[in-house]
Amino acid sequence: MANDSTSPTADPAERPFGCLYRHGLARVAVATPAVTVADPAANLEHHLTLARQAHDRHAAVCLFPELGLTGYACDDLFHQTALLDAAEQALADLVEASNELMPLMLVGLPVRHGNAVYNCAAAVSRGVLLGLTPKIYLPNYREYYEKRYFASGASLMQIATDAHLPRIDTQIVQFRTRHSYSPADLPALSVTVEICEDFWAPIPPSTAAALGGANVLCNLSASNATIGKADRRRLLAAAHSARTVSAYLFSAAGPGESTTDLAWDGQTLIYENGDLLAEGDRFPDEPHIITADIDLDRLGAERTKLNTLRDSLNEEVGDYIGISSMAQPFELGLPDHAVPLEREIERFPFVPHDKAEVDQRCHDAFHIQVQGLAQRLKAAKLDKLVIGVSGGLDSTHALVVAAKTMDRLGLPRTDIHAFSLPGFATSAGTRTNAHRLAETLGVTMREIDITAACEQMLTDLDHPYSQGQRTPETYDIAFENVQAGQRTSVLFRLANHLNGLVVGTGDLSELALGFCTYGVGDHMSHYAVNCSVPKTLIQHLIRWTATTDDFAAARDVLLDIVDTEFSPELVPAGEDGDGGQPAQRAEDVVGPYELQDFHLFYALRYGYAPSKIAYLAHHAWKDVNAGLWPPTLTDHDPRNQYDLPTIKRWLRVFIQRYYGFAQFKRSAIPNGPKVSTGGSLSPRGDWRAPSDGSPAAWLADLDRVPDE
């Protein structure tokens, strides 16, 4: 039973870029075999059939149901020597057959040890029986009589000596309740097992295992079917995986189990940190297998941030730490060729895929913003709001938030003082929409043309523009920021004059990319309602508010604004008006917001390396027909696709801005509510970073990504 095979490529970084095992992911499988009650030899073949399918799909782990080698409903047959002998022989044969199979297999069977029979999970990998884990909690109520047949593993909490370990086909086996299995060629994977009722206990055994480092928790279950029970299993698996920041795999007994008094639905589940990744059909007529790709990096990133997990460590948990080193070393023999990712990667991680979830997220985000602004207005003992309205996306949503805030506080919307501040490059379309929006919302609107003031400033600066020059070089950063600074100066002085509060409009995407002017309106305000809302979500927020009764009158103009091109409108168009298009397109400078928001989510939320972000982005965006919901809601084709060179190009821009020169702006942003589950860039909240840091390490990692 020795494992003579070795992995040809132990270093994940040496595997092809298209191999999921290079990028901190692991495929797992959950199987429901057909069972012939009390016939281990037949059940062995059922198990091997599905194990080969898991192997062909490059799964690192394959989980089977409780007592699958004998069937769960054997009752007093569990005390028959012939059945126990046959079960142990089936396990020995499974170990031998596993030499040619990749997955770590977790199978269930009864095992004699000392003066008792235990309900066990066996861990098998490439010709080696790595360990046996006995069930701790034995149900003995209603339809269950397990204490009649089995002893609890609770008596085996300490490691047994070799003299008292069971032998399976002459092999001495580690027999203990605290096993954790981590293959040498995939050390980020740490697997632990528990059995059926253990899962239903107030503190499942896998809780301690997870705190000790296990990140894939596997439950071999029989769990007969009753009405509503499937929902309870989903609830427990989701909650337990979220509480322990783990993946949770569950396999229930299925076809072939005895229906003398019970029925079986063969439910299979794979959860990751509370998210359902895969579920098989219940009540299958045939054996079946489900797979999912677990993001081990995601689990690791969450765990390193959550000090509550570390604070939960105690002496009991301490026995798990490093336990895998006590088990027999093993390797999976991972493939060194490309293994495409099966996991669905959303193109818009800040926006759920499901329409109902989008609506719920918009509802929550909007009311978080409103509650934040309302509290700030009350705390400041003010009753007026001042806001610059450009007719663009961000200021539109900020104005809608302001209107709802006044409604909630019982104040008239006329106490919102909105200002259109047109300059050199303000287009007729955005200018008109700003006035239409203010009128339909019932706020006080006024226009102050900043052109003359900006011309005076440019003259004072002896700027080429004041000398009549109109070349592309004339429209430099000073030319742009004179306008941005003038608008901000006007708004703050208006707030002084009106005894009001300036509402900020800049969003999370702009802060991430540093695409805002230091100290001016999209960066500085008295309260920044959009500071944690990415551009891709703001688009949906505006569409969502347009469907509510509060803003029905503004529906047409809101939808018109959503379709407006992203532009700072600081550089004039040519003499021919450039066909009515703005002279500046924000996305020509910083890249497509839909793609940069994707990069931002994985950098901010999980701290992924650029190579992994590029891998995930390519998987999400490479196919033209993928991700049709939600659409991008700009003039882009919602069927957009990006090849790897394009992703690398814009990811490089993201890295240079996000990890480089943009941080000094984020270190000085005003207050604003955290909205997005992806995180906030507030220096008082989710993100603290040096303003003079270097992006070199991230750029070096990106340089290792191939072009194809």
**233 SS3 class:** helix
Beta carbons of 252 and 214 less than 8 angstroms apart: no
Q: Which residues pair with 503 in a beta bridge?
A: 527
Q: Tokens representing 480? A: 């742009």
Residue 631, helix vs strand vs coil: coil
Give the burial class of 24: count Cβ atoms within 10 A of its Cβ; 0-12 exposed, 13-18 middle, 19 or more buried: buried
Is 196 known to be catalytic?
yes
Q: Where are the alpha helices (DSSP H) in 269-322?
A: 296-305, 307-311, 315-318
Active-site position among 66, 194, 587, 594: 66
Look up residue 69 and give its two tokens.
């080698």
b/e code 162-199 from CB counts within 10 Å (16+ = b): eeebbebeeeebbbbbbbbbbbebbebbbbbbbbbbbb
CA distance 214 to 61: 14
| Residues linked to residue 278 through DSSP beta bridges, in sequence order | 270
Which of 679, 689, 706 lies closest to 611 in space, CA to CA?
706
The answer to whether 303 touches 48, Cβ cutoff 8 Å, is no
Query: Within 13 Å and on the Cβ side, how many CA atoms surround 679?
Result: 23
Active-site residue flag, 516? no
Question: Which structure tokens are listed for 685?
Answer: 């909240």
Give catalytic status of residue 535 as yes or no.
Answer: no
Catalytic residue among 88, 120, 135, 665: 135
Angle between helices 593-606 and 644-656 (to 10 degrees): 60
Host H or E run for residue 63: strand 61-63
Got the DSSP string for 159-201? PPPGGGS-EETTEE--B-S---B--TT-TT--EEEEETHHHHS
Q: Measured in whole angstroms, how far is the alpha carbon of residue 37 from the centre of its chain?
A: 41
The vertex-249 CA angle with 247 and 254, nearest 5°, equals: 165
- For residue 313, give the DSSP letter: -
Hey, is 27 helix, strand or coil? strand
How far, in Å, CA of 532 to CA of 681, rounded? 7
Within 10 angstroms of residue 211's Cβ, the number of other Cβ atoms is 23
C-alpha distances in Å from residue 302, one per residue of 296, 604, 613? 10, 12, 16
Q: Which of 593, 607, 589 has its CA nearest to residue 642?
A: 593
CA distance 669 to 361: 25
Q: State the Cα–Cα distance between residues 58 and 7, nearest whole angstrom.
A: 14
Query: What are the φ/ψ torsions at residue 85 (nearest 5 degrees)?
Result: -65, -45
Catalytic entry in 196, 218, 454, 516: 196
Which residues are known to be catalytic?
A: 66, 135, 196
